[in-house]
Structure 1
Amino acid sequence: MTQEIHGTVADGFEEAREEFAAFVAGERPDYEGQLCAYVHGRKVVDLWAGADAGSLYGVFSSTKGAAHLVVALLVQDGTLELDREVTYWWPEFGAEGKDGLTLRDLLAHRAGLVGVDDGFTREELADDRLMAERLADQKPFWRPGTAFGYHALVIGALTGEVVRRATGRTLQEIYEDRVRAPYGLDFWLGLPESEEPRFRSVQPMLPTPPQQAALDARPDGPHTLAAIAFNTQVPDPGAPEDYANSRAVRAKGPASAGGVASARGLAGMYAAMISEVDGRPPLLKPDTLAEFGQIHSTGYDLVSRVHKSFGLGFQATADTWYPFLGAGTVGHSGAGGSQAFADPRCGLAYGYTRRRLAFPGGAAPENNALVKAVHRAAVRG
């Protein structure tokens, strides 16, 4: 039996409901997912199937959007400076030839510090400070600043340690005080025990035989850069869903991939970033938003082995995923299939979550049609 579609869309956004319903109709009967969008601070799409609108899901790397909104706010405040060396705040980071790396290059995935040789324990993966201590001593895997590669599990620990050294507070604490709590967002970096009943455990990917063959054929040997970046070189790396399903991860909210959110929370955060919401001015000024959305790394990603583009902390979503979006669109996808971004040129903020991991990882393929439908309506005004 197909899941029933719940929720509302504003006039002009009916195509988004049609696309969501068409996708859900073709999915497994146990599908759970949510879609939400704002335009110029007004909620225009709020749909879900399975569970309910308040269900919370592990959003993996979509967490990086929240983490680097905090960094952008601190740059905007003048607390952080993009072209200062990381060692200005964190002297120990300079070991093994990393002393010249700037915060700008760190945010652009150019540090060459995608993991540690012998991998992280599960306890370390849940704790940004433990990871940062290990990373400070690690020799980078390429000369810092000369190339880029996705720092999948560590970028939030690295930038978070800069935040902690500069402010005396964790990135998670600043996010809670300046972003999540003021807007009442269901996007958590550190899920309180009181909210645990709303969390829906992440379910594993169920690829078709051809998809499984494609997964098995990937050249992710035990000593590759990708293995180090995704911590699969350890004896028992566990499955991706184990990470989000760990209470330790959810409680501490590691800033690379430990966030928990609903689609409303994802879209609401990006709406607050670029638009007036509930009488509050946008969190980011136009110059800050343009700086963080400017492409800093583009081309062959040494870790992912595909073309990618990054701004500062954020994916360059228009180039990496949806070329019809406006220049300067900032966001981040997640391994569970989530997608979230802000397109400041048309005022669109988008969030999508799902419970079961999607093939092949990253933003789930259904986002292609969903984003296109929502964007078309937003541009029409």
Structure 2
Amino acid sequence: MTREIRVQGTVADGFESVRDEFTAVLAAEDPHYAGQLAAYVKGRKVVDLWVGPDTDGDTLYGVYSSTKGAAHLVVALLVQDGTLDLDREVAHYWPEFAAGGKGAATLRELLAHRVGVVGADTGFSPEELADDRAIARRLAAQRPYWRPGTAFGYHALSIGALSGEVVFRATGRTLRELYEERVRAPHGLDFFLGLPEEHEGRFRSVLPMDPTPEQRALLASLPTGPQNLASIAFNRNAAEPTDIEALPNSRAVRAKGPASVGGVASARGLAGMYAAAVTGLDGGEPLLTADTVAEFGQVQSVGYDLVARTHKVFAVGFQATSEVWYPFLGAGSIGHSGAGGSQAFADPRSGLAYGYTRRRYAFPGGPAPENERLARAVHEAALALG
């Protein structure tokens, strides 16, 4: 029996099909589902929907690796300013990084997940994981797990600390400070790197994954060795192994906003950030020039990911969203998904900016499967506008 779904919020004329698709997708979800969907086209909000108990459009969720999009928007701005150069060695900005054979690794290689420091030999403590500069100090001395530039693997918990340290060394400011000053505050975005105490009441804790028996069997079959690359990258090799699902439920993580996984946002905030970056919001100028968007959307790493053990595609700091997730999007789309199910991206060719959040951690981690249907529906409606 199909349960009744009460989707709330608004859609612009021509986007009614998106509301219908959101309703259809949710009919198959658990009765405690809560989530949000938002989209902008050429800077104008066209979708603003939510559903579920204790949820509205202002509710904030942990968005895991969707945080990386915010972090690397800051890097893109600094490259655009001329403060950073993608083809300079990381050690030019951060001399200590040269240790362990990393001296020739460039910023471009770092942002493309090619430098091989996905974690530390002995793992990180919970306190270190909440503190990007503590992670960076450890990783500066770490010998890479492959020769930089020869392969790639997802730096799940380390990439934000690495790029953030480059930002700090080049500017004397933290990545979080620059994001707040140049991106979040000027546009009033509900996408925080470091959630202020006064907004804690809007945050909803992550509900753990609820896999089917078949899904549990699949999870049990995955490699679990504490010293394989996946375990190192996700800090399962630490004395206190990291529970990825629970990370946003830590106040320390939310407060410090580590740039790999610590962001807290609504769907409005996710979509709004990408709109501000690529098309401008409500008639304003975009943060990035078309040339910068094209540079950061260019594929850098494609093929077998040594950490994920599957085919992946990375652009410069962002996922190449049209190549790895949704081939119906325009080439050069930039974005980043999050382990709990969130997804966010901009398609510069259609002018679409998309954001999705959900409260329950989605199987098996990464963008929730329903994003494919929802993103397609929004994209088709955007194209129909002409």
Give the TM-score normalised by structure 1: 0.99
Aligned position for 2:22:
20
User: Shift of the alpha carbon at 1:236?
Assistant: 2.8
User: Shift of the alpha carbon at 1:28?
Assistant: 1.4
Which of 87, 90, 96 is residue 92 of structure 1 equivalent to? 96
The separation in 1 between residues aligned to 2:28 and 2:303, in whole angstroms, is: 35
Helix, strand or coil: the match of 1:136? helix
The separation in 1 between residues aligned to 2:224 and 2:59, in whole angstroms, is: 34
The separation in 2 between residues aligned to 1:245 and 1:272, in whole angstroms, is: 28
User: Shift of the alpha carbon at 1:234?
Assistant: 1.9
CA RMSD of aligned residues (A): 0.9
The separation in 2 between residues aligned to 1:45 and 1:380, in whole angstroms, is: 15
Q: Does 1:154 align with 2:158?
A: yes
Aligned position for 2:380:
376
Q: Does 1:289 align with 2:293?
A: yes
Q: Is the 8 A contact 2:44 2:282 kept in 1?
A: no
Aligned position for 2:306:
302
Q: Is the 8 A contact 2:99 2:141 kept in 1?
A: yes
Q: Is the 8 A contact 1:2 1:24 kept in 2?
A: no
Aligned position for 2:176:
172
User: Shift of the alpha carbon at 1:186?
Assistant: 0.2
Q: Is the 8 A contact 2:68 2:259 kept in 1?
A: yes
Aligned position for 2:271:
267
User: Shift of the alpha carbon at 1:280?
Assistant: 2.1
Letter in 2 for 1:369: R
User: Shift of the alpha carbon at 1:238?
Assistant: 4.1
Q: Does 1:204 align with 2:208?
A: yes
Q: Is the 8 A contact 1:262 1:353 kept in 2?
A: yes
How many percent identity over aligned positions? 70
Aligned position for 2:57:
53
Q: Is the 8 A contact 1:67 1:175 kept in 2?
A: yes
Q: Is the 8 A contact 2:125 2:240 kept in 1?
A: no
Letter in 2 for 1:14: E
Helix, strand or coil: the match of 2:350? coil
Q: Does 1:62 align with 2:27?
A: no
Most deviating of 218-227 and 61-70 = 218-227
User: Shift of the alpha carbon at 1:11?
Assistant: 1.2
Letter in 2 for 1:251: A
Residues 93-125 of structure 1, C-alpha deviations (whole Å, 9 max, x = no match): 000100000001000000001000000000000
Aligned position for 2:41:
39
Aligned position for 1:114:
118
The separation in 2 between residues aligned to 1:278 and 1:295, in whole angstroms, is: 30
Aligned position for 2:8:
6
Most deviating of 234-243 and 174-183 = 234-243
Aligned position for 1:182:
186
* Structure 2 residues without counterparts, runs of 5 or longer: none
Helix, strand or coil: the match of 2:39? strand
Give the TM-score normalised by structure 2: 0.97
Q: Does 1:339 align with 2:347?
A: no
Aligned position for 1:318:
322
Aligned position for 1:124:
128
